[in-house]
Amino acid sequence: MSIIRDSDKEAIKKEIAGLTGPVKLINFTQELECQYCKETNQIVKEVAELSDKATAETYNFVTDKEKVDSFKIDKIPATVIMGTDDRGIRFYGVPSGYEFISLLEAIRIVSSGNSGLQQRSKEVLGKLKKPLHLQVFVTPT
């Protein structure tokens, strides 16, 4: 059974209808001791089905060690959103509620190659000398 309702699927399809470049949704999961892994994996797959530009990949957090290390995944459920290359965008936890809106936004950004940031913001980011790790905490409601 589908998690995303049919009526929502139509709305999401419209939201991501204009995708130009390929998008990969890479989900890290495991069977046991992960309350929301299964649900997250299903949502990711269902979203990927809504656009011919999007594909979903699934890796096991325990056994696919090489992928876990290369994407620097430290907790699950984790989903990497990438276009032609990995730009460091990760979603941890089940993408529902506001996080789902952000997920669609991330998909649009990596597909279009347009972050939507102001020019001044891009200039400031260009001045960074060391890595910047942003963690945005959200809740489903």
**36: contact with other proteins by CB under 8 A:** yes
Q: Which stretch binds other proteins (CB under 8 A): 5-13, 42-50, 61-69, 94-102?
A: 94-102
> Is residue 113 classed exposed, middle or buried when 0-12, 13-18 and 19+ CB atoms within 10 A define those classes?
exposed
Looking up tokens 């529902």, which residue turns up? 96
Tell me how far apart the alpha carbons of residues 3 and 43 are, in angstroms, rounded to a whole number.
7
Structure tokens at 32: 């046991």
**135: contact with other proteins by CB under 8 A:** yes
**35: contact with other proteins by CB under 8 A:** yes
Task: Count Cβ atoms below 10 Å from residue 80 Cβ, excluding itself.
Answer: 22
The single residue among 8, 16, 49, 92 that binds other proteins, judged by CB under 8 A, is: 92
Q: Which stretch binds other proteins (CB under 8 A): 2-10, 42-50, 55-63, 91-99?
A: 91-99
Q: How far is the CB of 40 from other proteins (least distance, A)?
A: 9
Tell me how far apart the alpha carbons of residues 108 and 81 are, in angstroms, rounded to a whole number.
10
Q: Where does this chain bind other proteins (CB under 8 A)? A: 35-36, 75, 77, 87-95, 99, 102-103, 109-110, 113, 115, 117-118, 120-122, 124-140
